[in-house]
A and B are shown apart, each in its own frame.
Chain A
Amino acid sequence: EDQVTQSPEALRLQEGESSSLNCSYTVSGLRGLFWYRQDPGKGPEFLFTLYSAGEEKEKERLKATLTKKESFLHITAPKPEDSATYLCAVYTGTASKLTFGTGTRLQVTL
């Protein structure tokens, strides 16, 4: 069964303090790894899809990377508006679903 583990569970950063979130996965045949941002009371908002080891994608202060066992979401010089829960999910194609981790709750303070 596909497994996705995210760490840390919660992270508190000061504005401008860069850090990384981790998503490790155990799947048979990764077809895609997704990163989503979720604000309280709202649905997940799509950020990135990574398809193969070595791939990197960037959007504003966020950069996602992928290896054969894990993905990192790097946050450079975060701002308070980056505060949210960040979810990682895998798609293997053998089942038509995403398997999600439990997320990392990020809080960025002034």
Chain B
Amino acid sequence: DTGVSQNPRHKITKRGQNVTFRCDPISEHNRLYWYRQTLGQGPEFLTYFQNEAQLEKSRLLSDRFSAERPKGSFSTLEIQRTEQGDSAMYLCASSLNTDGYTFGSGTRLTVV
């Protein structure tokens, strides 16, 4: 097991386009989280899955954002109609219950 894997590492997109990011968590971890981090700030919580169920969403997660975790394995985060304010690092983390959150290396999104 090589940890939490995120793809792509970098994404440049034009405003108005849709983008999708993928996260592969540590295999035995049942919890998966998405966070967003902008320059000079700490990560901010977006959403949380326990197995395949999405149990919590932040108010930061507008209607343009959707996340899925089919079969409780990998997860995808889609942003529709991207805006320049969506430019950020999108981080995925996984954990076994509440122990030791492990983060991936993130996907850097730039909206031009």
Question: Residues on A close to B: CB < 8 A?
Answer: 4, 31-32, 34, 36, 41-46, 49, 87, 89, 91, 93, 95-103
Contact = CB atoms under 8 A, between A and B. Distances in A.
Contact of B98 (A32, A45, A99): A32
A97 B103 contact: no
Interface residues of B, number: 27
Contacts of A96: 31, 33, 48, 50, 55-56
A89 B95 CA distance: 15
Nearest to A42: B105
Most B CB within 10 A of own CB, among A43, A46, A93, A103:
A43
B40 interface: yes
A97 B41 contact: no
A103 B31 CA distance: 25
B102 to A, nearest CB: 6
B56 A46 contact: no
B25 interface: no
